[in-house]
């Protein structure tokens, strides 16, 4: 295993062992916590009443749309579609109900 892989794995283990407060001490500046990013389902400010939110999570409850500086997001992963052809192919993986809530710009 290369030195870079060892260093990366060691840093990953170190970060996984830290509490959220301790992790935030390592940040270099401002950050946006996940709670501040609306989900796809709530993106248009159409949040359902609490009793309706107790239904099983759909894809729209697990995906967020964000426009801004992604380097300050407090998240573990960012997925970004690159090619329109990929979007067409990937859309086949989503249910019709999941896709209906996406507005086309």
For the whole model, what pTM was predicted?
0.53
Residue 78 located in a structural domain = yes
Residue 2 located in a structural domain = no
Parent domain of 77: 31-100
| Residue-level pLDDT at 93 | 66
Q: Are 33 and 72 in contact (CB under 8 A)?
A: no
Output the average pLDDT for the chain.
76
| Residue-level pLDDT at 103 | 45
Residue 70 located in a structural domain = yes
Which residues have C-beta within 8 Å of that of residue 57, sequence separation ≥ 6? none
Task: Report the alpha-carbon distance of residue 66 to residue 78 in Å, rounded.
Answer: 10
Model confidence at 22, in pLDDT bands (50, 70, 90)? Answer: very high
Task: Report the alpha-carbon distance of residue 94 to residue 49 in Å, rounded.
Answer: 25
Q: How many domains does the chain have?
A: 1
If we measure between CA atoms, which residue out of 63, 83, 86 comes closest to residue 75?
63
| Residue-level pLDDT at 25 | 92
- What are the pLDDT digits (tens) for 67-90? 888 889 998 888 775 656 666 666
């Amino acid at each position: 295993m290369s030195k870079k892989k060892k260093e990366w794995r060691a840093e990953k283990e170190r970060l996984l062992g830290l509490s959220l407060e301790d992790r935030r001490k390592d940040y270099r500046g401002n950050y946006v916590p996940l709670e501040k990013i609306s989900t796809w389902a709530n993106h248009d400010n159409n949040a359902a009443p609490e009793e309706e939110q107790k239904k099983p999570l759909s894809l729209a409850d697990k995906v967020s749309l964000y426009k801004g500086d992604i380097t300050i997001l407090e998240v573990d992963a960012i997925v970004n579609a690159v090619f329109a052809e990929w979007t067409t192919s990937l859309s086949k993986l989503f249910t019709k109900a999941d896709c209906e809530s996406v507005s086309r710009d």
